[in-house]
Homo-oligomer: A and B are copies of this chain.
Amino acid sequence: MKHHSLVAAALAALVAVAAAPTANAQSTPAIPGYTMGQKSLAKAPFTLADLESLKKTLLFTEEDIRYLRMSRAILADQHEAILDVWYGFVASTPELVVYFKNNKTGAPDGAYLGAVRKRFGQWIADTADANYDQSWLDYQYEIGLRHTTPKKNKTDEADSVPLVNFRYLSALTIPVTTTLKPFLAKKGASAADVEKMHAAWVKSVLLQSILWSYPYIKDGQF
């Protein structure tokens, strides 16, 4: 793989995406492919009881939910700046940007990157909302499917690689939450509250990455 040219093309695509008019995810009535709560979604193969067990194992408590919700207002007007950092990281990491590669050109697919970015902004709001109901659970399963062969590329009609490799899914918990921390601190919250919001985000993102992993796991072993 030509890493340098891929990175350069990714950065170019990123700039194009960032320069395009961006809607505020929270006030947009319909983000293409954002299907939380829609009847078309398959029921998740894991249950709300499974979720409770997983939360217990993750030491995820009501306090974490409170701190996630505290982060919502803090992050609300920073989505685009956060996404710039996350997309910058993906674009500069050849191991990651390859999952956005256009099969025809061999370069990162700007339209595909842009379509995912809109849903990624909404994901910040949804993670901060911390509403763990059946709709949320079903959508986590859908997100897992969209990273694996059953549904990769389909939502955005992208002509790209057929799979995001499992190993990078939970690994992304670290860059996502590490780079989020300065944004949590930008609105005057105390250092203690920033720490607790950050810890809650780490647990939530790890929890989600575990649920997203379902389609990768051999039958009966999840």
Contact = CB atoms under 8 A, between A and B. Distances in A.
Interface of A: 46, 50, 53-54, 56-60, 93, 95-96, 148, 163, 165-168, 170-175, 178, 199, 202-203, 206-207, 209-210, 213, 216-218, 221-222
Total copies of this chain within the assembly: 2
Given A57-B171, A175-B58, A206-B173, A221 B165 contact: yes
A82 to B, nearest CB: 16
B218 A57 contact: no
Given A210-B167, A216-B218, A218-B217, A172 B95 contact: no
Q: Is the interface of A mostly helix, strand, loop or mixed?
A: helix
A219 to B, nearest CB: 9
Contacts of A93: 56-57
A178 B195 CA distance: 13
Contacts of A172: 57
A30 to B, nearest CB: 32
Nearest to A203: B174
Contacts of A174: 57-60, 202-203, 206
Given A171-B210, A206-B170, A165 B222 contact: yes
A170 B170 contact: yes
